[in-house]
Copies of this chain bind each other. A is one copy, B any other.
Amino acid sequence: MRYHRRDVVERAIAVLDEYGLESLSMRRLAAELGLQPSALYHHVPNKQTLLAAIADEILARGRRERQAVEWDRRVVEICCELRDAMLAYRDGCDVVATAHTFGLGASEPATALRAALRDSGLPDDLVEVGTRALLHLVFGHTAEEQAALQAASAGAIDWEPGGTGDFEAGIGLLLDGLRSKVHR
């Protein structure tokens, strides 16, 4: 059977979700598709690129309509969408955050947050600082939450994840800081 890039990315996400990032090797993925490892390099130049494609696909699958009009409500909406998208797949936060760090894709949320902050009337440098701070908070909180959720579902119930409340509280603190800088 003959595959295309899209098939490889889709199967990679399935392997990721079922067995976790540490089990998602090029050799394992090839075996899952009934291919030799070398065949994968026809569809993807290397593993890093594959992971970036997975990150983009995870974000695309988590996309939903954004309806808020005020800039601060929109920030919360974007952050929650990002968090939910990453939580929907095992190790999703790891994959998306890494891709973002390496500057390979996963850039839509950053763009959307920047646009929202720009609409607030904040000066350019604060737009930039705020965007990055918001992303760090979302990635940091979600990574912790996902680790806790996965540890709990593996039986090691050592910590109840703060959940949505803690998440929105953290974002809220930063948003308070940003709002105080908007001169009306």
| Interface set of A (CB-CB < 8 Å, partner B) | 101, 125-126, 128-130, 132-133, 135-137, 139-141, 143-144, 147, 162, 166, 169-170, 172-178, 180-181
Contacts and interface: CB of A to CB of B under 8 A. Distances in A.
B174 A175 contact: no
A175 to B, nearest CB: 7
A148 to B, nearest CB: 10
Number of copies: 2
A139 B136 contact: yes
25 contacts: A101-B143, A101-B144, A101-B147, A125-B169, A128-B162, A128-B166, A129-B162, A129-B169, A129-B170, A132-B141, A133-B141, A133-B174, A136-B136, A136-B137, A136-B140, A136-B141, A137-B137, A139-B140, A173-B174, A173-B178, A174-B177, A175-B177, A176-B176, A176-B181, A177-B177
Contact of A126 (B137, B169, B181): B169
Nearest to A172: B177
A121 to B, nearest CB: 16
Nearest to A133: B170
A1 B51 CA distance: 43
Most B C-beta atoms less than 10 A away, residue of A101, A126, A130, A169: A169
Contact of A173 (B140, B172, B177): B177
A128 B147 CA distance: 18
